[in-house]
Amino acid sequence: MAEENADIGGMIEDEDEGSDDPNLHLELNTFRAQWMSELKLSSGASGLSGRLLRAKGLKRPQDIAREEKATELFLRAVQEEQNGAVYEAIKFYRMAMQLVPDIEFKINYSRPPDTDRGGGNYMDNNVDGEIEDLLSYFEEELTLESSFPKICTPELDLTQMHISALPSEILMYVFRWVVSSDLDMRALEQLSLVCRGFYICARDPEIWHLACLRVWGRNCTKLVPFKSWREMFLQRPRVRYDGVYISKTSYIRQGEASLDGFYRAWHHVECYRYLRFFPDGHVVMLNTPEDPLLVVPRLRTKNIRMDSVLLGHFRLSQETDNQTKVFAVCKKMEKATEFQRNRYSRRNPPPPEAEHSFHVGLHLCSGGRQTFSKLVWIHHSCHITYKPTGETVITPFDLDSMYTPFFFARVKSYTAFSKQPL
């Protein structure tokens, strides 16, 4: 600009040199000198203002526009890279870094939510990334994706039919087989981690309602104070069916003296009590010195071939003191082998004149990190009923240090197979 002005001034000067008026020549020189001084002052002021802006850490409008353009190009490159277009991503990365070399460290990756998409306002309320009602969020996403939402979509192209093609009624029946009659709700929770659609199906109220009915029966008519059937099943005290409760007792027993009376042996005795609950109301009780590694696999079903096994029924009781108690009545299992052995004999053995039943009362509480994993003894008694007279004699046992609490141990093999749906 200054050069053009100088050229114009030179042209005017050349034209003036041909003029004979000295006053006009003097005025033109004065005007030219004043004009050049003003141009120098304006250029100096602009340089000073640029230095002041740089000193204060402020950006000029040109730098701001260049950085915004570089940010836009860099974010587009990131999007192309996520979509798999690596060549296009490299092109946009190069263009962004040509504008601002350190744009990678200046960019802010928290992009504003797209107002055109549904659910944008929903995410605004969760600044920390935590969604309170994940079920409602997933249902809203599936509804917004298409007018006819599917439970799930295949990740890869398949030649066979995908599970998403099944009707929702059949899929829910499959979920009931996953839970099975053993109430394996842990498997249902693991199944909900597959995708959003499976998460929604695993939160179906009907499944959790059926599970609550299997556990509490007629005492499960009201949902209050819980918000859902799932919350009731997880928080309301109950016995667990996917394992066994074990109580270990150890004591010192005095042995017989030697022949010369010089010393007397002492024996350290260890025995275990096992309680295995079933969803149909049955309970198996066993008292044996055998190690749990040998006994636990044999307690998978109710048909156990062991001499000291007691089979019975149990019930849950919610007392006024807000304590949950378990009451069980167990009897010795009758052996079918004795009847087969004596079926063709001349004389069968006489039936027993007395029937023994054992009544057990336990307090259900939580132990450690696991919920409902501890059973504390309340009472233990033996009821002897004489069949000829019908008289019943009750013999209570003293609950001393020999009655240690039961602790729950989960056994994976108990729920490995499904025999019946929920």
Q: Does residue 225 have a cis bond before it (omega within 30 degrees)?
A: yes
CA separation for the pair 405, 362 (Å, rounded):
9
pLDDT of residue 15: 45
CA separation for the pair 174, 239 (Å, rounded):
25
Task: Write out pLDDT tens, residues 358-373.
Answer: 999 998 888 777 788 8
CA separation for the pair 380, 193 (Å, rounded):
44
- Residue where the block lists tokens 């994976």: 412
Give the contacts of 288 (CB within 8 A, at least 6 positions apart): 271, 272, 274, 295, 306, 308
CA separation for the pair 43, 40 (Å, rounded):
5
Block mean pLDDT (10 aa), the chain, length 422: 47 47 75 75 53 53 81 86 81 85 71 40 41 69 63 75 80 89 88 85 88 84 82 88 89 78 80 90 89 88 82 83 84 61 55 81 83 87 84 85 88 85 82
pLDDT of residue 127: 35
Encoded tokens for 198: 């499976």
Contact 77, 92 (CB under 8 A): yes
pLDDT of residue 351: 61
pLDDT of residue 342: 52
Contact 182, 279 (CB under 8 A): yes
Task: Write out pLDDT tens, residues 322-361.
Answer: 788 889 999 887 654 444 555 555 555 566 677 888 999 9
Contact 319, 255 (CB under 8 A): no
Encoded tokens for 195: 């995708």
pLDDT of residue 321: 64
Long-range contacts of 108-111 (CB under 8 A, 24+ apart): 108/71, 111/75
pTM score? 0.61
